[in-house]
Amino acid sequence: MAQKEEAAAAAEPASQNGEDAENLEDPEKLKELIELPPFEIVTGERLPAHFFKFQFRNVEYSSGRNKTFLCYVVEAQSKGGQVQASRGYLEDEHAAAHAEEAFFNSIMPTFDPALRYVVTWYVSSSPCAACADRIVKTLNKTKNLRLLILVGRLFMWEEPEVQAALRKLKEAGCRLRIMKPQDFEYIWQNFVEQEEGESKAFEPWEDIQENFLYYEEKLADILK
């Protein structure tokens, strides 16, 4: 599995390796380093098709996929039963924080305490242990929030720390499941940019069902 920590290493201060130290002597490269933000969250309503096809693909070995893409649907329900829905996506950059954390920091502060919220995440990979801990703490203190997380892949699922974190999510009331082919199609239709004046049908990759069953079995073993 590709590790989110791989990108974290790329975000460390420039002085920590020889190559970056050399960059400090080059005025143009130094300017690039200064202008590169240590943390950035990309937001929007629809993500580029090539990002979806690469980042969300439910492969077993996710080499090169060191970002997290999170598509969300927020349903706010008033006491009168009226429901308002909103959606969008978050993409983490430079790995100083992850998309899950960004949702709580940038989207959730707009929530009205008087309303009930049902939130659905469609995430390229399952949360790391740190993000899972943040989710648990948020659910424990936010009684008007219900969260469903659908993931394309399991992140570092063989690690005991990650397995324990996923079980804590379940104990906190978070529903966690692996995306079925129909879920990928839903993302394609609702969160992926389409050609202007044209809606292209979702084309499943060859092993989409096989990989779904593989990850579904792994998650069931972890959560039992």
Alpha carbon distance 75, 88 (integer Å): 12
CB-side neighbour CA atoms (13 Å) of 117:
23
Residue 100 bears catalytic tag: yes
The DSSP annotation for 167-198 comes to: HHHHHTT-EEEEPPHHHHHHHHHHHB---TT-
Set 28, 75, 93, 100: catalytic member: 100
User: Which regions of the chain does DSSP assign to beta strands (E)?
Assistant: 40-44, 69-77, 83-93, 116-125, 145-153, 175-178
- Tell me the three state secondary structure of residue 222: helix
List, by residue number, the catalytic residues: 100
